[in-house]
Structure 1
Amino acid sequence: MQSLALKPHRLPQVAPTLPFVRNGFQCVNEATMVQPCQNSTRKKYRCFIQLAILTIPALMLLFPEVKDRLGSSGFFPSVHRNLKHDMHSSAAKSFHGAKDALDQFVVRKKDRLFLNGEAFRFISFNVPNLHVVEDETWHRVSQWEQEDALETISRMGGQVVRIYPMSIVGGLNNGTYTHILGKGMYNEALFQDLDRLLVVAHRLEIRVIIPFIDHWEWWGGVSQFARLFNASFSDFYESPLIKAGFLDFVEYLLMRKNTLTGQLYRDDPTILAWETGNELDYVNDDTPHTNTHLSAPLMLPSLAVMDKWTSELAAFLKKRDPNHLVIDGRLLNNRDVSRMQLLDPHIDLISDHFYPNTDFSFEARLTRMLSFSKRHKPFLVGEFGMVSSQTMDALAKRVIEEPAVAGALLWSLRSHSAQGGFYWHYEYDDFWAYHYLGFDSNPGTEEKKVMAVVEKHAYAIRNQTVPAPTIPRPPKLIDGSTTQAIAWQGSVGAQHYELERKEVALGYQLDTGMTASGADRTSTWQEGKWIRISNNLSDSMNPYVPFMDATAQPGKIYEYRIYAVSSAGRSAPSPTMSIHASSAASRP
């Protein structure tokens, strides 16, 4: 754990981690700092200004209420923005050059969220694959896939996305290449992917909810973290050693410096909130509880233990990071909201997940939760799904009607894959993850209807109407394609694709000054005409199937280009790709 103790007569040790302290005072050297003020009025003012510039950040560190008062006056945000721009390279400046709202933190006032004095509410998606991909095979996520997913969220009117908790070694689905590799051991490559996610999200004006740990074992959860300390699930919430190890991980996240921007996570407004965990379960007594989704029966913590653990973690978060919201990530499952959740000043949002696993409708569950949280804390439907589009529509309308509900996040969205097609993820009861715009290849989930419902309400909760469709960006043919398997990276909002081909005829001419019998031949290209060989390609099949050009003649060279098509029109063509047709007659 990093010490936050103060040294005499100096700024706090944590000062270098704050952008407005670290590089904001380059114009003031140590000599200037210790020089006594001169008698000249102009020099007095200069010294006073320099002293104020140096003193204000220190006061804000020591006394958060000073920062709050400056922020409300409008002084602190402008100073913070200017100094933050000074600290970054030109590449990072473009990251921070979005709208001013993206440089401000969302704040809570009683049971509402606000951004720059205006209500902040959202309807959007959970996207589990944004920082590591579990589908097909466990692997790192690419920048292109992060951009595709977040562009989808943006296109649908979403302002927020919730990712899945950090993966832990030993989970059921992930093997050993995880975010948490051992006690105090963290996978730098995977966290750099999270760095990049925050950069992309900022550019697209989307805020991210980050849960710390999972109750379940899919990616590694409470049980796997406890095993790092040779302990079991039941020890996680009460063992001082495990709790200290967990806080070490939490502090690692808070104090992590983004490798692309140089900004600490705790100072990044792109992060909407920290969530204590995902579906952290408990009971009202210490009765052993068996759950078929876990590898062995376990002893869930009591309500009192869960309250204590959550309160301690929330206090730790607010001490280290007073700017970000804190979401209580326990699974209520229609149970009472505890008194601690309502009264603890360090907890900002109450959350629950709505699935058809109780006898109560979604609307009834929301009404019940509001009977506790209203006038105290905003309520968040952190996940909902596995129901009909009509049920989703009814819940979304109810969310919009009730200002004390901060938002609702549908489970879950999958992006295009960089290798072509979409990622597909099966849930249960014939429900699959969703894809934008919605396709007939995913009929059991009413995908088209669900996408339309979410998009409509995502804009409605912001008092906006759904904008007209736009022409998609050009797709891209994937390197390594052959005439038997032409694959492409899809475009957000594309309904289908059109593929064109052009034959490149190879002719020969003789070098001048040589006889025909002895001349060396040099190649010259003769361009053919573009012809359309498919006007209704889809990338929504499960599994994805690249296009096979059955009419390509072996031995010839062809150029290909592809277009994305939506109801708004056809995109510009992709960059062309040359492919030498092989003699293979069928797909390998």
Structure 2
Amino acid sequence: MKDSLPPSTRPDRAKRVTGAVVTTALAASVLVGGAIPTAALAAPQDWTSLNSAFVERDGTTLTLDGVDFRMSGANAYWLGLDENVGGIDYPTYFRIKDALDTASQMGVTAVRSHMMTSTGQNDANPLAIMPSLGSYNDDAFATIDFAIAYAGSLGIRLLLPLTDEWEYYHGGHRDFTAPLGLESADFYTDPAAIAAFDEYIGVILDRTNAITGVRYVDDPTILAWELGNELEGMTVDWIGARVDLIKSLAPAQLVAAGGRFGVSEAALHAPDLDIVDAHYYPPTVDRVASDAASVVAAGKVYVAGEYGSPAATTALLYPLAANPDVTGMFFWSLFPNNDRGGFVPHDDGFTVHYPGETAQSQAEVDAIVGYGAALSGAAPATDLEPALVTAIDRENGINRVAWRGTAGATGYTVQSSTDGTTWTDITAPVSAAASPITDYTSAPGTSYRVLALGGLAGSVSEPVTASGQTSVLVDPLQSFLLTSDRAYVTLAAMPMGASPRARPARPPSSPGRSATSRALSFSSLTPSA
């Protein structure tokens, strides 16, 4: 059925913007994970971007270089601030990179992320962009800058909500009313609340990416600013004024708005709004097609900004790929490989791990990949980076081997060797979720490596040799998850191949633990660029 669909064209993945290479210091720090301190990114870095032109609106469609641009989309709300790291903190750079690499491997051309919605009340969330009303935290932009820069290097576009209807950990529109003694509904009518939100918009849009040296408003990677996630009290006038503000600051970028269920009437009738975003739990072909037709009839671009991933089937997505009214379908939601092994856990019933851990989830992934291929007319890229053996834990003479997966791998085979030359499979192909596995033979001095399967050719990790009586930790990841008291660490810029050095970025989350409990073991393993 897919072959019968009329393809549209997605941006040429070979196009590159001048500024051709990531600096070795940044490449090292990016690929091993951890948090780059603001000082390390004070000067603009050279960066490679595949996004050389802005996506534009042509009536009810989007175009890129004069060709229709339709999106296979994913949601990754946590790219700026993450609740899935044993608490609320910035995500590791590995997680951001792996999620965006995974999206690219799935043929996703746009990612929607709540990373700009980071607000708080009276320093309730000191890690937020705006910890308290009118107070801004420059360090909070480090992961955001990286996500934008890395997405550009893959040719992925971003759709970025600016606030949220809901009081989640990353904040929402009540953070612009509660500090002023106002009710939540006053967000749309009270002059002080409106002014506070407009100021926040101005701060965000005026940001210059510390990695690329490009202002956010000048970066084609940012396809559109969404006024907020699932806002329920919007009026036509309120939308119109925010659209006018954003377009005065970012004339080359688009503006989106939408509600929680179906099409927002205010968004439908707001002048100069580019994109109307609707959400579905679950979607149906008829409902999406009907909503899309209404939006197109109003002269705007339609996207399904969220749909529950369990509904991702060929029966749903292929007819919508053939429907030109539907500019984009964004599944909820994508999570990457975990830093130490397995997948990042997130149990909301809508989590997507590639390539899927069950027959059902694999079918969902296959349908999403097929939808992207139907829009682009081509299968996604399938080159694989090596996996990484992260630990060998030895107990009672038996080794347990953990590894970190790599984006796009369809499975893994763990191999052992006692001479470093002859390698023997100790597992059949398994999912990343199988990490760690047990080697019941565990001869002294055994080395282990992991084959990542799939793609144009499998890739092999660097081998790691088990120590005689102790565990071995391979740790270029710089993640607080690796420490017994979850001490936070950060990574200074360094030459490629040098051993990372950890230092606390702020006090440990469990005061009173000894400094020795925070000791980290690092490898001089050179990450691949």
Which TM class, normalised by the smaller chain length? 0.7 to 0.9
The equivalent of 2:441 in structure 1 is 551
Partner of 1:140: 90
Tell me whether 1:124 sits opposite 2:124 in the alignment.
no
- The answer on whether the counterparts of 2:47 and 2:211 sit within 8 Å (CA) in structure 1 is no
- In the TM superposition, 1:75-86 aligns within 5 A as none
Q: Which residue does the alignment assign to 1:478?
A: 390
Distance of 1:124 and 1:398 partners within structure 2 = 16
Q: Residues 528 and 216 (structure 1 numbering): CA distance in 2 closer, same or farther, change over 3 Å?
A: closer
- For these two proteins, the number of residue pairs brought into alignment is 431
Task: Identify if the C-alpha distance between structure 1 residues 310 and 263 changes in structure 2 by more than 3 Å, giving closer, same or farther.
Answer: same
Structure 2 residue matching 1:186: 3-state secondary structure: coil
Amino acid at match of 2:205: L
* Residues 213, 278 of structure 1: 8 Å contact kept: yes
Aligned residues of 1:128 and 1:162 also touching (Cα < 8 A)? yes
State the Cα RMSD in Å.
3.1
**Higher mean C-alpha displacement, 263-272 vs 476-485:** 476-485
1:412 maps onto 2:333 in alignment: yes
| Change over 3 Å in CA distance of 1:350–1:476 after alignment to 2 | same
Calculate the TM-score normalised by the size of structure 1: 0.67
In 2: Cα distance, 1:376 partner to 1:276 partner: 19
Q: 1:578 aligns with which of 465, 471, 474?
A: 465
1:498 to 408, 413, 427: 413
Distance in 1, matches of 2:248 and 2:60, equals 22
**Match 1:311 to one of 235, 240, 243:** 240
Structure-1 residue corresponding to 2:427: 535
Equivalent residues in 2 for 1:561-572 (5 A)?
561-566=449-454, 569-571=457-459
Query: Match of 1:403?
Result: 324
Equivalence for 2:223: 272
Say whether residues 1:384 and 2:311 are aligned partners.
no
Larger Rg: 1
| Aligned counterparts of 2:68 and 2:316: Cα–Cα separation in 1 | 20
Give the deviation of 1:145 after TM superposition. Answer: 1.8
For residues 270-291 of structure 1, what are the alpha-carbon distances to aligned partners after superposition, in whole Å with 9 as ceiling and x for unaligned?
Answer: 1111000000013xxxxxxxxx
Structure-2 change in CA distance of 1:336 and 1:197 (3 Å): closer
Counterparts of 2:264 and 2:211, CA distance in 1:
43
Tell me if 1:452 matches 2:350.
no
Unaligned runs of 5+ in 1: 1-80, 283-304, 504-526
Contact 1:161 1:207 in 2 (8 A): yes
Cα distance 1:395–1:225, how it changes in 2: closer, same or farther (>3 A)? farther
Q: Which of the numbers 168, 171, 179 marks the counterpart of 2:129? A: 179
The answer to whether residue 18 in structure 2 is matched with residue 95 in structure 1 is: no
How do 1:353-392 residues align onto structure 2 when only pairs under 5 Å count?
353-356=279-282, 361-374=284-297, 376-385=299-308, 387-390=310-313
Shift, 1:529, TM fit: 5.2
- Residue in 2 that maps onto 1:109: 58
2:352 to 431, 434, 438: 434
Q: Distance in 2 between matches of 1:197 and 1:480?
A: 31
Which of 379, 391, 399 is the aligned partner of 1:466?
A: 379
Contact 1:337–1:369 at 8 Å: present in 2 too? no
Q: Relative to 1, partners in 2 of residues 1:170 and 1:489: Cα closer, same or farther, differing over 3 Å? A: farther
Partner in structure 1 of residue 253 of structure 2: 324
Normalising by the residue count of structure 2, what TM-score does the alignment of the two structures yield? Answer: 0.74
How far did residue 353 of structure 1 move? 0.5
Q: Please state how far the C-alpha of 1:217 moved relative to its aligned partner.
A: 1.3
Larger RCO (alpha carbons 8 Å, 6+ apart): 2
- 1:440-472: per-residue Cα shift (whole Å, max 9, x none)? 2xx5xx21111111111111112x1436x8463
- Whichever structure has more helix as a proportion of its residues is 1
Task: Show structure 2 runs of 5+ residues with no match.
Answer: 1-15, 27-43, 472-483, 485-529
Of 241, 249, 253, the residue aligned with 2:200 is 249
Residue 145 of structure 2: aligned partner: 195
Query: How far off is 1:188 after superposition?
Result: 2.6
Distance 1:434 1:456 in 2: 15
How far apart are 1:569 and its partner, in Å? Answer: 4.7
Following superposition, the deviation at residue 258 of structure 1 comes to 0.7
